[in-house]
Amino acid sequence: MDNYMAIWMFAAVFVVLLSGYPVAFVLSGTALLFSVIGLQLDNFDADFLTALPNRLFGLMNNETLIAVPLFVFMGVLLERAKIAEALLEAMSELFSGLRGGLGIAVTIVGMLMAASTGIVGATVVTMGLLSLPTMLKRGYDPAISCGIICASGTLGQIIPPSIVLVLLGDVIATAYQQAQLEMGVFAPETISVGDLFAGALIPGLLLVSLYLVYISFIAWLYPDKMPKPTTIQNHEKGFYLRIFKSLIPPLALILSVLGSIIGGLATPTEAASVGAVGALILAGVQKQLNKAILEEVTRQTTQVTSMIFMILMGAALFSLVFRGFEGDELIIELLSDLPGGKYGALFVVMAVMFLLGFVLDFIEITFVIVPIVGPVLLMMGIDPIWLGIMIALNLQTSFLTPPFGFALFYLRGVAPAEVTTLQIYKGVLPFIIIQLILLGILLIFPVLATGLPKLIYA
């Protein structure tokens, strides 16, 4: 009966989430309701609820999570500093002579902004406002244009520094320690957010390369969908100097943040503070920093951070009640009985996450699903870094999959009226397939995710 209560609780959360009610309150409210029902039916131990204060105190003392508001602040401020605008203008002119050059420029700028900010929404909106009208004006197919913008905007999910990797790194680290304790290892090894950052570099760059190959292939196969400019503009004097100047801000932040983490000079939290200060300096240099902008950036940072931590608190309560109904034992039993061993279990978990991405966002999946299935998969002998990167790449599809992909909503909000929602959906489908192909490549070659962290931190 306990196991059935865990299933019903999970189903209730899923149904209520579809109503659009705030996630944090759905998780905590459903957990409390089912705990009351369980107490009345005498199949739930109230001692599980007494562990909640310790869980919340652990969140308050988690130094890794301090990086979240710092990275959010950095991303929002860079968006206001108009760094993407200058970079996109320079890159578009640089690739203007190539067929599909504007699509290539948008993808490269998306990669650089992802590595500078890690904020998906800001990147998609900025690229949509700046590049979509230009692409349509030059005769680019609306669906392909929307697909390129959405896909390049979501690179902030997998290319570090990424808020997704920060949150996922904390969850995976906890799951890894729990898995080792369950196996009788009382001096457990740990992984850090820095491990995931290093592990995500090669897959992230490989994903960008696959995007560029696809764009170039479509431009060659269907020249009418991404036409080459009829007249090639000669570069003005000082053009390459202007490109160099536009590249300095994002590259400086990438080197300061990622370089300090991967080089072992700073923790992710310390590097995030460096990035936040760097963003302030860059905004000041760009003359885009004043009291009004700073107040707006601070307000947005507070809102996003509050949302994330409220979901964390709700997920902590949900997890306790779920375990109180022996839901974790049910998951262990289900995954252990699947054919194919650990790879069969991993395939099922990835498939479920992909399907959940149609209706849930990455925060909900990270805080609700990963803590439940993570320890089970890790006890089967799966590498925690490889698992983290696989999940991160899978979660990236949740931003693109119709009908509730957040990147689709972001672009729909700023796209011209003549661009239909169906065209946006159609445009992202090839990029979803590319992401699934990369998941398959990582499945066959785990060293793409695990090699660099082992090399750096050996």
Convert the pLDDT of each residue in 374-409 to its tens digit: 888 998 889 999 999 999 998 888 778 876 677 887
| Residues, the chain | 458
Class of residue 102 by CB neighbours under 10 A (exposed 0-12, middle 13-18, buried 19+)? buried
| Confidence at residue 215, expressed as pLDDT on a 0 to 100 scale | 94
Give the Cα separation of 358 and 450 in Å (integer).
Answer: 28
For residue 192, give the nearest of 304, 75, 311, 63 by alpha carbon.
Answer: 63
| Confidence at residue 230, expressed as pLDDT on a 0 to 100 scale | 62
| Confidence at residue 359, expressed as pLDDT on a 0 to 100 scale | 67
**Structural contact between residues 89 and 246, judged by C-beta atoms closer than 8 angstroms:** yes
Give the Cα separation of 398 and 401 in Å (integer).
Answer: 5
Q: Residue 303's pLDDT band (boundaries 50, 70, 90)?
A: confident
| Cα angle for residues 354, 393, 162 (degrees, 5° grid) | 125
| Cα angle for residues 204, 205, 211 (degrees, 5° grid) | 95
- What pTM value is reported for the model? 0.83
What the block records as the tokens of 394 is 């899978």
Sequence-distant (6+) residues with CB within 8 A of 27 are 13, 311, 314, 315, 317, 318, 367, 368
For residue 392, give the nearest of 203, 109, 151 by alpha carbon.
Answer: 203
More confident residue, 250 or 191: 191
Out of 56-60, 71-75, 114-118, which region has the weakest mean confidence (pLDDT)? Answer: 114-118
Q: Residue 111's pLDDT band (boundaries 50, 70, 90)?
A: confident
* The pLDDT of residue 441 is above 90: yes
**Chain position carrying tokens 């865990």:** 6
List pLDDT tens digits, range 212-237: 999 999 999 988 888 876 655 556 66
Instruction: Return the percentage of the chain with pLDDT > 70, whole number.
Output: 93
Q: Residue 445's pLDDT band (boundaries 50, 70, 90)?
A: very high
Q: Residue 447's pLDDT band (boundaries 50, 70, 90)?
A: very high
Domain boundaries, the chain: 62-457
Average model confidence (pLDDT) across the chain: 83
Give the Cα separation of 313 and 367 in Å (integer).
Answer: 10
For residue 428, give the nearest of 449, 458, 408 by alpha carbon.
Answer: 408
